[in-house]
Amino acid sequence: MKRLLFVILAAMLAGLFLVALAEDQNREWAGYQRKFMKSLAKDERRGVKGGIKQLQATDLGRVDRCTTCHMAMDRPQLALAEEPFKAHPGEYLTWHPPEKFGCTVCHGGQGLATEAKAAHGDVEHWSRPLLKGSYVQASCQKCHGDLEAIQAHIPALMQGIDLYKQHGCAGCHTVKNFGQTVSVDLSDVGDKPLQLLDFTFVESGEHGGHEELRQWIDEHFLEGRKVTPGFRKDELPPGEEEVYPTFMPNFGLSEQEAEALTIYMLSLTAENLPAKYVIPAPPPKPEPSYASAIDAGRAVFQKYGCVGCHGQDGRGGRHNFNAQYGQEVPSLVHAKDYYDRETLKHFIETGRQPVPRINVARPRPPAFMPAWKGRIPDDELNVLVEYVLSLNEHVIREPGSSASAPEPVASISTP
């Protein structure tokens, strides 16, 4: 009886071994490898070995198995093939040796996975899915402190940075200690946990329909007041039916512009790579010279994001719910009628918080004038005051007209 039981158990063990062997041969990655080998000429197969492949970027603490399927990434002759049998584009592998960088530090995804869906991060609870297309540019700022040196390779990222400045986002947000604290600090928004975001009004992402940071940020730029509606009904006073939206304006961005801004946001992380990977930023460029104090002040107005709340040329127009002054951020066009130089400078330095409410029983206005003391150097503050006081003379003009951006005057340098 014992011998019979032994034979039965041994047979079951052998059967399980054969099943495991068959399953191993039919794994997704094994199928890709067989298909790739069949695509090669007989002499090209020499030296090409199958099996799970690993890139160990020890300094980065990463183990990536991406090349298990992407076996052709270093074969330029396959540049026009389909994935995963396609060569890596450009000379990026020359500049970023795979044995030193791996794959996921730039492309995202789950490096240890060996099935495409899991490897690409198309699974729940994986916060860094594969960065596709131009989104991979979000990784470049991890190492490259001098983005202008590689700007030809990162057009979307550079556009996102320009849009951030153009729309005056620094007037409410801080990035790496530059900007204000009216709203959230964006210095490491690319690492933001999904648990801190409300996906109620966000469409399903492309990654298997799972919640993802990229989708939330992108839709927030396109339809901010849909994604973050503001005060919820249970936060309003009893009997209130009016909705108090977020202050985040709708900038009328195109889908391409929203994508560029999203790429910039995803590039803002707290990830610190070893020093030998980092190309330090160059010394800051000297400030340009301007033809007048007013032109210089207009540049300061743009630099520190004043345009984000006060609008182009200080015309106002950003809706600020339950705030006095017409429930909007005040126009600066008539500042000269109420302030002289010293009082205006003092007001900019000290700000106004909280903003007076129309109805004290209702929620406070979402936007307020922050204090700029210690954030704007005195020389820039002085020309900013000159610009604001000039607005009633330089902005009041034909309907539809707008003051042009100041043209820097080339500084004279000695050899």
Q: Which parts of 96-154 fold into alpha helices (H)?
A: 98-101, 104-107, 116-119
The span from the first CA to the last CA of the chain, in angstroms, equals 101
For the 133-277 domain, the top CATH level (class) is: mainly alpha
Structure tokens at 130: 């594969």
Q: Residue 195: helix, strand or coil by DSSP?
A: helix
Q: How far apart are CA 107 and CA 73, in angstroms?
A: 14
- Cα separations in angstroms, 3 against 11, 16, 273, 386: 12, 20, 61, 101
Residue partners of 262: CB distance under 8 A and separation at least 6: 135, 160, 214, 217, 218, 221
- Walk along the chain (415 residues) and give the pLDDT tens digit of each residue: 778 888 788 888 887 877 776 666 678 999 999 899 888 888 788 878 889 999 999 999 999 999 999 999 988 888 778 889 899 999 999 999 999 999 999 999 999 999 999 999 988 888 889 999 999 999 999 999 999 999 999 999 999 999 999 999 999 999 999 999 999 999 999 999 988 888 888 876 554 557 889 999 999 999 888 888 776 666 666 666 556 667 888 889 999 999 999 999 999 999 999 999 999 999 988 888 999 999 999 999 999 999 999 998 998 878 888 898 788 899 999 999 999 999 999 999 999 988 899 988 788 888 999 999 999 999 999 999 999 999 987 655 544 444 444 444 433 332 2
Cα–Cα distance, 384 to 290 (Å, whole number): 13
Placement of tokens 């406070």 in the chain: 364
Paired tokens of 246 = 């977020």
Report the alpha-carbon distance of residue 235 to residue 415 in Å, rounded. Answer: 64
- How many whole angstroms separate alpha carbon 403 and alpha carbon 333? 12
Question: What's the rounded Cα separation, in Å, for the pair 186 and 176?
Answer: 8
Question: Between the CA of residue 42 and those of 29, 36, 77, what are the distances in Å?
Answer: 21, 12, 16
Residue 25: C-alpha distances to residues 32, 33, 278 (Å) = 11, 11, 42
> How far apart, in whole angstroms, are the C-alpha atoms of residue 197 and residue 215?
11
Per CATH, 133-277 and 293-394 having the same topology is answered: yes
Q: How many CB atoms lie within 10 A of CB 83?
A: 10
**CB environment 367-403: b (16+ within 10 A), e (fewer):** bbbbbbeebbeeebbbbbbbbbbbbbeebeeeeeeeb
Quote the CA–CA distance of 83 and 80 in Å, as a whole number: 9
Domains of the chain by residue range: 32-39+47-127, 133-277, 293-394
Separation of alpha carbons 310 and 327, rounded Å: 13
pLDDT of residue 412: 31
Q: Which CATH superfamily is domain 293-394 in?
A: Cytochrome c-like domain (1.10.760.10)
